[in-house]
Amino acid sequence: MNSGWSMILAQAASGPAARQEMPQQVLFFGFLLFLGVFYFMLFRNRSQERTKYEQLLKSLKRNDRVLTIGGIIGTIVDIREAEGEVTLKVDETSNVKIRFKRDAIKTVLRETPDTK
């Protein structure tokens, strides 16, 4: 049993001289390349999502049914470009209207063919 361990230790001790190692510079540059690609993919995706969201906010118009980031569903009745505000009608029966910042709009709810 001791002879087995001594043989493994002898091979480990002569290992670096016997095997070829990859230069540390290649590993370092490979790691940097990996980080660069990861960074590009992560922030490119965020940039595309932000562009889509800004286009959505620019395309808002009266009578669009929208969902806010707080979960309130309403219909746009007024858009104030200067203040960056949107007025939503949230209840038809009591005519309740709430003003929101334009950035509070999460998405525009599209009507499905079944609801028309």
Q: pLDDT: is 52 or 41 the higher one?
A: 52
At 54 the pLDDT is: 92
Average pLDDT of the chain is: 81
At 107 the pLDDT is: 92
The 8-class DSSP code of residue 22 comes to P
Task: Tell me, yes or no, if the pTM score tops 0.85.
Answer: no
Residue 10 pLDDT exceeds 80 = no
58-76 residues labelled b (16+ CB within 10 A) or e (exposed): eeeeeebebebeeeeebbb
Section 87-98 average pLDDT = 91
Confidence of residue 3 (pLDDT cuts 50, 70, 90): low
Residue 46 is encoded by which pair of tokens? 């965020």
At 22 the pLDDT is: 65
What pLDDT, in 10s, does the model give residues 33-43? 999 888 888 88
